[in-house]
Amino acid sequence: MRILVKGAGVAGLTVAHELASGGADVIVIEKSSAPGGGASWLAGGMLAPFCEREAAEPTVVELGREAARWWEAAVPGLVHFNGTLVVAPPRDTAELRRFATRTEGHSHVAADEIASLEPDLAGRFRAGLFFPQEAHLDPRQALRALAEKLQAAGVRFLFNRTEPPRGETFDRVVDCTGFAAAASVPELRGVRGEMLYLETREVRLSRTVRLIHPRFPVYIVPRSGGRFMVGATMIESADEGPITARSAMELLNAAYALHPAFGEARIVEAAAGIRPAYPDNLPKIEERNGTLFVNGFHRHGFLLSPALAREAARIVLGGDGRDAGGAPQDTAFAPTVTKI
């Protein structure tokens, strides 16, 4: 079976992986010059289904439970199984309690336990929540590694194009182009996310740390080389312009509140991306005019793409759906699939 996958972001690459694993002949086209163009390149890479329950539907938890295992099987060694730490300054203790009531899979930690988990935060916070079953990865490393794996397996990539070469024919087309598909999927809306990359050798973290913020969830995710990804805003807008001064100040203030040494960090990158979302903020698989659309990941691309990719491969190939390691998957919590 010959399949065309449009888009080489996290959705397109995971779908291509599942299709190729099922024996399909896969070609991927991408409008950018390399894999991971668009919002995927700016993602936090948090595999944190329990934390996400604070503002998301239970479906997000169910579909995201196996994400870390999928990524570890697909790109071994890139997933950090260190959990997530959620902290709040004393003035926001009520918000921390609210966060706890809306989530599961955590334990309450006091100041000494926070210091044990993250020594550089010793003495800075009196209380927090620890989610031991969560993980994170570096999206840019993961996207590159997955694309290289697919190329080695015979998947063909065509960059700097939105349509395949003339004369090429395919049995199925799977569109994973995110908000770029809005013309074909009018229900999609853009959710703008802004982020910073900071660099400092004065702070060391081993896991994602979420800081309770009065307006939006701020997370700081460690990367290699003393770098940290700080994100991310959620603005109802499809404006692709640069990060705003207000957002940059809020993100920087949050990083400084976590640890004052971030005040001396270098800003090595500041960027904004548009994430695709349906009205209910849940991803969907839809067939429109013969094309299968896998879209609407909102802010959960790396968390939910494995589950959606497995289901898309099952639809296209007619199989039972298997994970990156070949193990059968429980499809009790399959995403919404519609045909239009």
Instruction: Please report the pLDDT score of residue 37 as a whole number.
Output: 78
Cα–Cα distance for residue pair 14/28, rounded to 1 Å: 11
Verify cis geometry, omega within 30 degrees of 0, for the bond prior to 232.
yes
- pLDDT value of position 335: 56
Decide: 245 and 272 in contact? Cβ < 8 Å.
no
Average pLDDT over residues 233-240: 90
SS3 breakdown of the chain: % helix, strand, coil, rounded to 5? 35, 25, 40
Class of domain 2-48+138-185+279-339: alpha beta
Q: What pLDDT shows up at residue 324?
A: 45
338 pLDDT band, cuts 50/70/90, is: low
- Alpha-carbon distance of 338 to 161, in angstroms, equals 28
Q: What is the pLDDT of residue 203?
A: 98
Residue 332: per-residue pLDDT: 35
Instruction: From the options 3.90.950.10, 3.30.9.10, 3.40.50.300, 3.40.605.10, give the CATH code of 84-132+189-277.
Output: 3.30.9.10
Residue 289, helix vs strand vs coil:
coil
Lowest mean pLDDT among 40-44, 127-131, 278-282, 326-330: 326-330
In the block, which residue shows the tokens 């979420």? 210
**Which pLDDT score is estimated for 128?**
97
Per-residue model confidence (pLDDT) at position 340: 52
Residue range 309-325: average pLDDT? 76
Residue 47 has pLDDT above 60, yes or no: yes
Comparing 50-59, 297-306, 313-322, the range with the smallest average pLDDT is 313-322
Contact 4, 172 (CB under 8 A): yes
Burial 41-62 (b: 16+ CB within 10 A, else e): bbbbbbbbbbbbbbebeebbbb
Nearest to 14 by CA among 232, 273, 335, 339: 335
Angle between helices 67-74 and 301-317 (to 10 degrees): 80
Confidence tier at 339 by pLDDT (50, 70, 90): low
The H or E element spanning position 96 is helix 93-102
**Helix (H, G, I), strand (E, B), or coil: what is residue 109?**
strand
DSSP letters along 169-228, please?
--SEEEE--GGGGTTT-TT-EEEEEEEEEEE-SS---SSEEEE--SSS-EEEEE-STTEE
Two tokens, residue 72: 């570890």
The segment(s) of the chain belonging to CATH 3.30.9.10 are: 84-132+189-277
Could you give the percent of the chain with pLDDT greater than 90? 87
CB-CB neighbours of 175 under 10 Å: 23
As a whole number of Å, the CA-based R_g of the chain is 20
Give the Cα separation of 14 and 297 in Å (integer): 13
Helix (H, G, I), strand (E, B) or coil at 33: coil
Would you give the DSSP letter of residue 160? S
Residue range(s) occupied by CATH 3.50.50.60 in the chain: 2-48+138-185+279-339
pTM: 0.93
Q: How far apart are CA 291 and CA 183, in angstroms?
A: 14
Q: Which amino acid is at 303?
A: L
pLDDT tens, position by position, 145-196: 999 999 999 999 999 999 999 999 999 999 999 999 999 999 999 999 999 9
Pairing of strands 2-6, 25-30: parallel
Q: What is the mean pLDDT of residues 217-226?
A: 94
